[in-house]
Structure 1
């Protein structure tokens, strides 16, 4: 199978497994914003963000190393050595983290420390199970497991929040139970123990796994810092209510990020497998690069234009001001996603060090801008800091990736894209602040035109498939 076909197939399988539950979860926003106060929602987001920060440090990102090294394994013995060694490292990290958390709690008694530990351990367990399935090429199993985790989280959220009225405790319980339970069931189903053999524990293998994963920790932590720092400063300067509004505003860019995530999981595999095939990896990288960049910018402009129509329907209560920050955060997500594309190429060549250095630079910029902009500009300052920092890491990686791939840039296309983006954003804010309907319609027209023209090849292929299916049914086949 060619890598282009594999990439499309795996992305489709992962999307089918995750899209339905992500959509349902998104549509439950009216429930969450009705039952939970802005302060409660802000607290949930605050604790989950801290947990995300701790996961890569505790796990040493063994899931990333396990996945990448399993791709290169050809024999059962090699797989057993990689799985056993990575599990040993993760277990050691879990023990050290739990002991460290216990010491911190004894010394300073921080609130909700127990929840942070539970969230970190459950998330790490799920990520390790995901890496195991993906490394063995079981994309269907991976999609099913994450579908189960998401579906269980949604059901438990409804029960715990709407029925039992457990608030913050309910949301955190639902997340941890779903993640841990789903991973455990699938690992038992796939009989992971077949590849865990203490005699296969290899010091050299451990060293290679750690050498690969450790440079990824600054990368992961820095991304989390950029996602967490604005929330921390908002929580401690403006208050939990503002943090809740910002968290809800970020829900919409998160949809875009999650859809991209379906592609990214497949991209990391295909970008590595192409190196061992007979295909031209540079042509492959360029084809994916052009299509992804056009599609993701089309999504940014399309979601921005549609936001005035859908925000008020999905978001209730005191969260209305979040509408002001969504477009800026969507643009930040675009830069973040594109830098992830470059990161896939770096990991394919096992050059993980460059990912950490580029993201650390971006995180430093985010730190400086957050402290400088949030006090005078409030949530606008947090949004601007986020988009500026993600833009920097995107540009830095775009320049550095030239070491491995020559990505062709179209200056004319970039200028037109920039002009369309400026026009959509300008008309959007005119509508939000003045209620001008003509501005909103103009915004929508430009966004739709851009998406259609930029992705015309994809649209033509899609329409051809639709016509083929219609003819097939018309002929009674």
Structure 2
């Protein structure tokens, strides 16, 4: 046993430092989503559907307001700045903190001045908005700090802070939920309190010993870079969050809470999306760089088929998942799971196509596709939620991600044509896409026939077991060190 532990430790010590950083960054992301998923059954059993609806709406608005309140400075521009100004990273970092302080203060003041006119839309009182402004600021600060640790390969420090933020946030939220009469406020404020404490540590760590938090050169660079990105940021959030807000305004908080629980249950597979992206993106980019195009379509097809198998299992297990995740009050949300889970397939397709656009240096279309899909999402939600209720939002989400993936497929084909590349098996991808949409439409009909569902589940598991060697080979190909060098 000690020998095996020593071998594992020895192999770990020989892993290149950049790979260790990526691994622990992924572990932290996995832990964050995993803890949220694991604790979901606890919160749904102590919160009513309406109370959970308040939390869901708060989170949705926070994702939107943070863009205007902070300009998302930890997203995109901070990464680019650390590379562009690599000889002056400390000053660039401290100047971004200074700019963030000014932007957040100005935009928060504007928000509170106009809030009375926004109450009919947001439907959250001042205490929630105050917490939201604090949370937005420290979310960006923590994001900047984490990115800097990744650049400096300080994975131990990064992991400790991330784990503390996740674990303590959940624990304090649970305590406050049981202590306070307003359980929604307890859940939200518990997370915000821990984020503020840890964010203060990150704040002082980023500005200590630095020359100045004011640097107009870096401020101009950041504003010119990120302001044009705002439509893309907003569009992405609309695709992910607006359905809950529209359900709240058009139907009610309770329905928004039910939809949110079902949506979160279906999105557990998104963790796999991130894991695949972490391995697939560098693997594909390396092959593109070396012009090693053969074998790409076979790997992509295998990944998509494996992913489909997992999606179908989640859809078939939906009744059991909802019984575990929540009480009977949330059970109607079961019918949201099939379309939302199938949406993850089209998000994965975008993940497969996007590196081609980045490699070809033709990224402007990403913003266009996001904006068009978001506008279609608003229109479809308005029509179909009014006509069929909150369950329709799951299918409008699926429709918009189909459009999103299709738009990127068209643009990816153009990039491939320009660079004379033939990378994907379009026919098989189209067949799988049609199957996914069909499953989303008809799968709910099987929920009353448990025997038939279990037969399908057994068949899928048996198929995966029989193909386990091929699956292992594909995963080994993606994770193999220096696989194309």
TM-score under structure 1 length normalisation: 0.81
User: Taking structure 1 as reference, are residues 73 and 444 closer, same or farther at Cα in structure 2, changes over 3 Å only?
Assistant: farther
Question: Are 1:323 and 2:339 matched, yes or no?
Answer: no
Taking structure 1 as reference, are residues 15 and 430 closer, same or farther at Cα in structure 2, changes over 3 Å only?
Answer: same
8 Å Cα contact 1:297/1:334 also seen in 2: yes
The equivalent residue for 2:97 is: 87
Identify if the C-alpha distance between structure 1 residues 415 and 143 changes in structure 2 by more than 3 Å, giving closer, same or farther.
same
Aligned match for 1:47, one of 58, 79, 85: 58
C-alpha displacement of 1:296: 3.6
Distance 1:174 1:363, change over 3 A: same
Q: Would the aligned equivalents of 2:343 and 2:397 in 1 still touch at CA under 8 Å? A: yes
How do 1:3-82 residues align onto structure 2 when only pairs under 5 Å count?
Answer: 12-63=23-74, 64-71=76-83, 74-75=86-87, 77=88, 79-82=89-92
Change (3 A) 1:453 1:88: farther
Total equivalences in the alignment: 452
Could you tell me whether the CA contact under 8 Å between 1:246 and 1:322 is conserved in 2? yes
Aligned to 1:414: 429
Deviation of 1:386 (Å): 0.8
Distance 1:8 1:137, change over 3 A: closer
Q: What is the rounded CA distance, in whole Å, between the counterparts of 1:54 and 1:352 in structure 2?
A: 25
Q: Which residue of 2 aligns with 1:184?
A: 200
The match for 2:480 is none
Q: Which residue of 1 aligns with 2:140?
A: 124
Residues 263 and 340 in structure 2, CA contact (< 8 A), matched pair in contact too: yes
Aligned twin of 2:243: 230
Q: CA deviation at 1:279?
A: 4.7
TM-score (norm 2): 0.80
1 CA distance for matches of 2:65 and 2:135?
Answer: 10
Counterpart for residue 345 of structure 2:
334
Q: Determine which of 172, 181, 184 is the counterpart of 2:188.
A: 172
Q: Which runs of 5 or more residues in structure 1 are unaligned? A: 465-477
Residues 130-209 of structure 1 mapped to structure 2, 5 A cutoff: 130-186=146-202, 188=204, 191-193=205-207, 196-198=210-212, 201=215, 203=217, 205-209=218-222
| 1:388 alignment counterpart | 399
Change (3 A) 1:372 1:195: farther
> What secondary structure sits across from 1:62 in the alignment?
coil
- 1:265-292 per-residue CA deviation (whole Å, 9 max, x = no partner) reads 7878x489959x9755867987885565
Distance 2:233 2:302 in 1: 26
Matched, 1:213 2:223: no
State which of 458, 464, 469 in structure 1 corresponds to 2:471.
458
Residues 1:378 and 2:389 aligned together:
yes
Superposed displacement of residue 139, structure 1: 4.5
Q: Give the 3 Å change call, closer, same or farther, for CA 99–88 of structure 1 in structure 2.
A: same
Query: What's 1:472 paired with?
Result: none
Q: Within the alignment, does 1:98 sit opposite 2:100 as a pair?
A: no
Cα contact 1:423–1:443 (8 A) shared by 2: no
Structure 2, unpaired ranges of 5+ = 1-14, 478-485
Secondary structure in 1 matching 2:188: helix
Which residue of 2 is the match for residue 475 of structure 1? none
Q: How does 1:233-272 map to 2 (within 5 A)?
A: 233-261=246-274, 264=277, 270=282
Q: Which residue of 1 aligns with 2:4?
A: none
CA distance in 1, matches of 2:356, 2:160: 27
CA contact under 8 A between 1:65 and 1:209: conserved in structure 2? yes
Distance change (3 Å), C-alpha of 1:460 and 1:348: closer
1:312 deviates by 0.8
Determine if contact 2:369/2:407 at 8 Å carries over to the other structure: yes
Contact 2:293-2:423 at 8 Å conserved across structures? no
| C-alpha separation in 2, matches of 1:101 and 1:283 | 54
Q: Measure, in 1, the Cα distance between the counterparts of 2:24 and 2:460.
A: 28
How many angstroms apart in 1 are the aligned matches of 2:69 and 2:38?
33
Q: Is the 8 Å Cα contact of residues 58 and 94 (structure 1) preserved in structure 2? A: yes
Question: What is the deviation of 1:428?
Answer: 3.6
Contact 1:217 1:356 in 2 (8 A): no
Residues 137-175 of structure 1, C-alpha deviations (whole Å, 9 max, x = no match): 444544443322211121112211134454011111122
8 Å Cα contact 1:83-1:195 kept in structure 2: no
Q: Give the CA RMSD over aligned residues.
A: 3.7
